[in-house]
A and B are shown apart, each in its own frame.
Chain A
């Protein structure tokens, strides 16, 4: 059964048609890639999926529920979490607290219980600590739990962002250029982590990426976007050999 179903999605900014008649069909548990030249509208589609922008037309169905018109926080609760192209961490919080902020809606106690330090505060905070450390271990960040997020090296900041998104326990994880700025070794390691996360947490992952090695290495299916429209879609190997796609990337 399809986890995410997008039909006829479109948005204009003034006179610019950023996304037009976009469609997407992602099966549960798949690793799906969204690629395209610069300015093709990939991040705009992420912003549409997460409710940052409201589409002019079209439907987005997540697990049988239409999420068009919902706010970002509601969509996150419905099960979509994301990372950002330009890293957006809580830079003055520790690595552990970044992840615990992601656990906000899943481990809850009231503000009053927090101020008065009632037993529930200690119980839930302990649960949060344990869960956060568990997640950090997956991404090999557990040794840096006390470090300020802004003091992490670049590659680890990217990983921490994924960890934080994972903490919200999503059904669908959107990764916006997870390998940007990483060296080949880090990229390879990241590929393994992404695959590992998908398999252990039974996630569905949609990622935007320019690194073709990563795309061809882990994505099972692809959609190629050009000028806001779907240029090609299907199995990764087929799409990457499509002459139209090669033309869009390399020119005539």
Chain B
């Protein structure tokens, strides 16, 4: 019973932290203390936080490596932007349209997760990393050659150019290949983003601390033992991975509805993006949800604050990633850390006794 309280408390701290950051950011916007550049970052930041939390579900809780999380984000972004643009006249209510876009974006990304997971998650080893890496690149490239238009006769598809769509003159191009989708309604706001972060946290944290979460973590710790006590390994692996993919799709929806033009470039949906999300997770602590949120915020804001170093950004990421891995897993570093922590505890205790 005592432990239940401890978990509830820890979860509560996470929720409160998000809300406090939200209020602080809103206050800064209201009082005019935030540059317009930073204000522009607020909505993408929400998407990154959700991505970091969802990837942590795959990497930290399920114990599988995914190197194509930006791919799931890309699926969510394009499907939802496509939906919103088509429905702009049919559903004039922005709230309802956005809600439906969210559901569709999450579902599409989740289905992609299931399709990848069914064959790959049955295998032991690092196959998921390889396949998701390929998936991310494939999705990005498909979006770059895809042309979809709509006229009185319905939808037209092509993978060549706008001309080969063969539309009537009054037809409208919706997805214009490398130029992407233009004119998606800008429905994402910082407030909606934060609400979705809280929703993501609610899903992920409650999943972890439930019967299914225990099953997922037991598979991570020892697959053979998990099977021997009757846990359906494939089912729970698939469940965790598809939930993670669906949440990445939600991040994609937020991201897409914040841009005038949505294009699939290496910068936003490519390999670099997937690695950046992984850096959030590793830096925040694998399996540590609160850490992922903090890392995502710090690593998104720091480059803007330290603009001068932008050329060395990927280099610094790599160095930090390696340094953190050493700090977290090297036996010598762990020894040193424990010694230091003990000293600190001791001092704290001594102080408490003095009082």
Contacts and interface: CB of A to CB of B under 8 A. Distances in A.
Interface residues of B, number: 31
A81 B229 contact: yes
B224 to A, nearest CB: 6
B211 to A, nearest CB: 6
A91 B219 CA distance: 11
Interface residues of A, number: 43
B338 interface: no
A185 B213 CA distance: 38
B342 interface: no
Contacts of A93: 214, 217-218, 221
B206 interface: yes
B227 A72 contact: yes
A55 B211 CA distance: 33
A109 B211 contact: yes
A73 B207 CA distance: 22
Interface string A68-91: 000011001100011010001111
B228 A81 contact: yes
Given A73-B230, A146-B3, A90 B217 contact: yes
Contacts of B228: 50, 72, 76, 81-82, 84, 88, 165
A76 B225 contact: no
Interface stretch (A12-20, A35-43, A115-123): A115-123
Contacts of B14: none
A125 B209 CA distance: 10
Contact of A76 (B2, B230, B233): B230
A124 B211 CA distance: 9
Interface in A189-232: none
Interface of A: 50, 52, 72-73, 76-77, 81-82, 84, 88-94, 96-98, 100-102, 104-105, 107-109, 111, 114-117, 121, 124-125, 128-129, 145-146, 164-165, 167-168
Interface of B: 1-4, 202-203, 206-207, 210-215, 217-218, 220-222, 224-233, 239, 287
